[in-house]
């Protein structure tokens, strides 16, 4: 890896790490999601510093270029993240449906009570 590429990647890793910490500090990102992003930025930082580890990993996977290994890792990470968010959205959809049904039942009950008080 060229020195300019290494410096650029280190700066990007540090930026991502500090940005995630800032999002958590300002409560725009929950802690349960932040650990994943922090872990990924640390892993990228380590792979940039220890580039030979990335080369060894590429050889173990049978990949010609180490950058292809990074792209493969990023693709797998995004797929796992998409599945996790799909599961989360499905759970939230079920919760909203249940809340709407409970709200309708409670509204009907309140209407019945009001009608019985008026008579």
pTM (2 d.p.): 0.71
- Whether 112 and 101 have beta carbons less than 8 Å apart is answered as no
Query: Using one digit for the tens of pLDDT, what is the confidence trace for 61-93?
Result: 999 998 899 899 999 999 998 998 999 999 999
What tokens were used for 56?
Answer: 């060894």
- pLDDT, residue 53, reads 93
User: Is the Cβ–Cβ distance between 43 and 58 less than 8 Å?
Assistant: no
Residue 96's pLDDT is 98
Cα 58 to Cα 52, 53, 72, 75: the distances in Å are: 10, 8, 10, 15
Closest CA to 45 of 17, 68, 77: 17
């Amino acid at each position: 890896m060229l020195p300019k590429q290494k410096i650029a990647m280190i700066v990007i890793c540090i930026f991502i790490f500090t940005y995630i910490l800032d999002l958590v500090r300002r409560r725009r990102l929950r802690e349960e999601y932040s650990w994943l992003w922090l872990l990924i930025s640390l892993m990228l930082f380590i792979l940039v510093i220890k580039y030979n580890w990335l080369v060894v990993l590429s050889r173990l996977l049978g990949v010609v270029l180490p950058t292809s290994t990074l792209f493969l890792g990023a693709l797998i990470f995004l797929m796992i993240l998409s599945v996790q968010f799909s599961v989360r959205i499905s759970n939230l959809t079920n919760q909203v449906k249940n809340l709407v049904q409970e709200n309708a039942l409670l509204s009907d009950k309140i209407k019945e009570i009001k009608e019985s008080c008026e008579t």
